[in-house]
Structure 1
Amino acid sequence: MDIDAFIAAHRPAWDRLEHLIARRRTLTGAEIDELVELYQRVSTHLSIVRSASTDGILVGRLSALVARARSAVTGAHVPAWRELARFFTVSFPVVAYRARWWWLGTTVAFVALAWIMGAWVAGSPEVQNAVASPEEITQLVEHDFADYYSENPAASFASRVWINNAWVSALMLVGAIFAGIPIPYFLFQNAANVGISGGLMASRGKLDIFFGLITPHGLLELAAVFLAAAVGLRLGWTVVDPGPRRRTEALAEQGRAVMAVALGLVVALFVSGLIEAFVTPSGLPTWARIAIGVLALVAFLGYVGVYGHRAARDQETGDLERAPDVAPTA
Structure 2
Amino acid sequence: MSGVDLDAYVAEHDAEWRRLEQLSRGRRLTAAEVDELVALYQRAATHLSVVRSRSPDPALVARLSRLVLAARSTLTGGSRLSWREVGRFFTEGFPLAVYRAGAWWSGVAVAFTLLTGFLMWWVAGHPESAAAFIGEDAAEELVASEFAGYYTEFLPSSFAFHLWTHNAWLAAQCLASGVLIVPVLWLLWNNALNIGVVGGVMFAYGRGDLFFSLITPHGLLELTGIYVAAGAGLRIGWSWIAPARTAPEAARSSRPPATACWWPWGWSGCSRCRP
TM-score (norm 2): 0.63
Measured in 2, the distance between the counterparts of 1:37 and 1:201 equals 75
| Alignment correspondent of 2:47 | none
Is 1:100 equivalent to 2:102 in the alignment? yes
Measured in 2, the distance between the counterparts of 1:243 and 1:219 equals 32
Look up the equivalent residue of 1:210 and give its one-letter code: F
Q: Which residue of 170, 184, 199 corresponds with 1:168?
A: 170
Map Cα deviations across residues 210-232 of structure 1 (whole Å, 9 max, x no partner): 11000000000000011111011
Aligned length: 203
Measured in 1, the distance between the counterparts of 2:174 and 2:222 equals 14
Percent sequence identity is: 46
| Alignment correspondent of 1:299 | none
| Alignment correspondent of 2:201 | 200
Look up the equivalent residue of 2:137 and give its one-letter code: E
Please say if residues 119 and 196 of structure 2, whose CA atoms lie closer than 8 Å, have aligned partners that are also in contact: yes
TM-score (norm 1): 0.53
| Alignment correspondent of 2:38 | 36
User: Residues 204, 75 of structure 1: CA spacing in aligned structure 2 closer, same or farther, 3 A cutoff?
Assistant: same
Q: What SS class does the counterpart of residue 149 from structure 1 fall into?
A: helix
TM-superposed CA distance for 1:105, in Å, is 0.1
Map Cα deviations across residues 132-176 of structure 1 (whole Å, 9 max, x no partner): 444332221121111100111222222222221122112212313
User: Residues 241, 70 of structure 1: CA spacing in aligned structure 2 closer, same or farther, 3 A cutoff?
Assistant: closer
Is 1:126 equivalent to 2:128 in the alignment? yes
Q: What SS class does the counterpart of residue 232 from structure 2 fall into?
A: helix
Q: What SS class does the counterpart of residue 152 from structure 2 fall into?
A: coil
Q: What SS class does the counterpart of residue 182 from structure 2 fall into?
A: coil
Please say if residues 102 and 233 of structure 1, whose CA atoms lie closer than 8 Å, have aligned partners that are also in contact: yes
Please say if residues 181 and 236 of structure 1, whose CA atoms lie closer than 8 Å, have aligned partners that are also in contact: no
Measured in 2, the distance between the counterparts of 1:131 and 1:169 equals 25
Look up the equivalent residue of 1:204 and give its one-letter code: Y
Measured in 1, the distance between the counterparts of 2:149 and 2:240 equals 45
Q: Which residue of 79, 87, 91 corresponds with 2:89?
A: 87
Measured in 1, the distance between the counterparts of 2:78 and 2:131 equals 67
Measured in 1, the distance between the counterparts of 2:239 and 2:89 equals 23
| Alignment correspondent of 2:271 | none
| Alignment correspondent of 1:317 | none
| Alignment correspondent of 1:239 | 240
Please say if residues 119 and 197 of structure 2, whose CA atoms lie closer than 8 Å, have aligned partners that are also in contact: yes
Please say if residues 179 and 234 of structure 2, whose CA atoms lie closer than 8 Å, have aligned partners that are also in contact: no
Task: Name whichever of 186-195 and 81-90 sits farther off.
Answer: 81-90
TM-superposed CA distance for 1:197, in Å, is 0.7
Is 1:155 equivalent to 2:162 in the alignment? no
Q: Which has the higher contact order (CA 8 A, sep 6+)?
A: 1
Look up the equivalent residue of 1:218 and give its one-letter code: G
| Alignment correspondent of 1:211 | 212
TM-superposed CA distance for 1:31, in Å, is 7.6
TM-superposed CA distance for 1:74, in Å, is 4.1
Please say if residues 179 and 238 of structure 2, whose CA atoms lie closer than 8 Å, have aligned partners that are also in contact: no
TM-superposed CA distance for 1:191, in Å, is 0.6
Measured in 2, the distance between the counterparts of 1:132 and 1:76 equals 56
| Alignment correspondent of 1:138 | 140
TM-superposed CA distance for 1:122, in Å, is 0.2
Q: What SS class does the counterpart of residue 151 from structure 2 fall into?
A: coil
TM-superposed CA distance for 1:87, in Å, is 2.0
Please say if residues 175 and 182 of structure 1, whose CA atoms lie closer than 8 Å, have aligned partners that are also in contact: yes
Measured in 1, the distance between the counterparts of 2:82 and 2:76 equals 18
Structure 1 unmatched runs, 5+: 1-12, 42-68, 246-330
Measured in 2, the distance between the counterparts of 1:40 and 1:127 equals 75
Look up the equivalent residue of 2:138 and give its one-letter code: E
CA RMSD of aligned residues (A): 3.3
Measured in 2, the distance between the counterparts of 1:133 and 1:40 equals 74
Look up the equivalent residue of 1:203 and give its one-letter code: A
Look up the equivalent residue of 1:159 and give its one-letter code: F
